Structure 1
Amino acid sequence: TGWHGSEFWHLLGYLRQHENHGGPVTERVKAYARDERSPHRRLLAQAWQEALDTGLTEETSILQNGSFENGAAVATHWGSWIVSTGSIERTTEISRSGDASLLVNRLERGGPLQIFPVRAGLIAAQAHYYTPPSTTSGTITMSLQLRNSRGERLFSCSSGSRTLADTAGEWAALELFGDVPAEIDGQELVEARLVITVDNAKDAQVYIDDVRVHQFAFQEDTDSTGASEESPDLLLNSGFEAVESHIPDAWSTTAANRENRLVSASSLVAHTGEQSLRFTNDGSAYQMAWQDVSVEGNTVYELTAWVRGDAAAMANLYVEFYSELSRAGYLRGRGIDFDGLSSEWREVKINVQAPAAAAYARVYLRSKGQGDVFFDDVSFRRLVR
Structure 2
Amino acid sequence: MGVDVVFWSVVLARFVLPLFIPKYPLPAIIGCLVLDAADQTIFQAFGFNPPFYQSYDKAMDVFYLSVAYTASLRNWTNVSAFRINRFLFFYRQIGVVAFELSGLRWLLLVFPNTFEYFFIAYEAIRSRWNPLRWGFRFWLIVAGAIWVFIKLPQEYWVHIAQLDVTDTIRDVPWFGPALAAGILVLISVALFVVRPRLPQGDWSLRLAADPLPVAIDEATERAAYHAAHGKVFDEAALEKIFLIGLISVIYGRVLPGVEATSLQIFLSVAFYAIINAALGLWAAKRGNSWESAGVSFAVVFATNVVLVAIADLLLSRGQGRLRLIDTLFFVFLFSILTTLYDRYRPIHDYRVETARTESTT
TM-score (ref. length: structure 2): 0.25
- Please identify which structure carries the higher helix content: 2
Larger Rg: 1
- Please identify which structure carries the higher strand content: 1
TM-score (ref. length: structure 1): 0.24
Which structure exhibits the higher relative contact order, with contacts defined as CA atoms closer than 8 Å and separated by 6 or more residues? 2
